Copies of this chain bind each other. A is one copy, B any other.
Amino acid sequence: MSAATLESNVSRIHVIAAAPAAVEAPAVAPLKTQCSTCHLRDLCLPGGMSMPDIDRLDDMKFNRRKIKAGQTLYREGDRFQFIYAVRIGTLKSSLMLADGREQVSGFHIAGELVGLDGAAQGSHASATMALEDTEICAIPYAHLTDLAASVSGMQHVISRLMSREILREHSLMMLLGSMNADERLAAFLLNLSQRYAARGYSEREFHLRMSRAEIGSYLGMKLETVSRTFTAFQQQRLLEVDKRHIRIIDLDGLKRRFEVRVH
């Protein structure tokens, strides 16, 4: 059921502070990862790259880190050094208004990349924290751009990643700007469903890793409204909801209620 338990026996290393950008692998290194043998390679950074290009990625041997539930990967204002690929677990990114209001800007699951927002000003504009015990690959951004100079395809990969992030935010803008509560929650659930499906999990049954308040912040509504909308969907026999466990009964019904390509 839980993605976290499926693979939680991987390593025991905790690197919380930013790791030094060591290129040479020391004799006894922290756990390193190669893209070519990663089970997420088609979804993640190397998606769409040619084998020789992926080999060049392998040369970089990315550091892995574990982040416990509730710990932050980076905060607003932190120096931008890495982008991060989620291996296992779930992250949330959020923005802060001066008066403390929070806006969740995204949830990230295995195979997704986080941290691209830092490239514009050299520091992160958002904060990102783990919603459950999570493991990531830290990809030194400078090395990636170096690689882009020599590997022709890499330039495109970076651009595509960023552009994909722009598209993702487009969808959220659409949602926040022109949809009501029902449509927002339906869009959110359908989007999650698709992303789980793409990773081989059930598209109809999953466990939410975020609270009602976090969903609400992401969707621009209050937690009570999220809760009421869940109840309404349940009464309309679209879903079965038990706290954070969701079972979609009528997927087409949900889609009919709202058809949009999110992400």
A233 to B235, CA, bound (A): 43
- In the assembled complex, the CB of A212 is this many whole angstroms from the nearest CB of chain B, namely 15
Is residue A165 within 8 Å, beta carbon to beta carbon, of the partner chain?
Answer: yes
A162 to B166, CA, bound (A): 8
CB-defined contacts of A166 to chain B, threshold 8 Å? 116-117, 120, 162, 165-166, 169
CB-defined contacts of A117 to chain B, threshold 8 Å? 163, 166-167, 170
Q: Quickly give the copy total for this chain.
A: 2
Query: A47-100: which residues lie under 8 A (CB-CB) from chain B?
Result: 95, 97-98
CB-defined contacts of A213 to chain B, threshold 8 Å? none
* Candidates B95, B148, B260; contact of A98 at CB < 8 Å: B260
A178 to B101, CA, bound (A): 7
* Candidates B120, B155, B177; contact of A148 at CB < 8 Å: B155
Chain A contact-residue range equals 35 or more
| A163:B119 contact, CB within 8 angstroms | yes
CB-defined contacts of A140 to chain B, threshold 8 Å? none
* Candidates B120, B149, B162, B174; contact of A103 at CB < 8 Å: B174
- In the assembled complex, the CB of A194 is this many whole angstroms from the nearest CB of chain B, namely 16
A116 to B119, CA, bound (A): 15
Using CB atoms, name the residue of chain B closest to A165: B166
The 6 closest A-B pairs by CB, nearest first: A120-B163, A176-B176, A119-B163, A162-B162, A177-B220, A169-B169
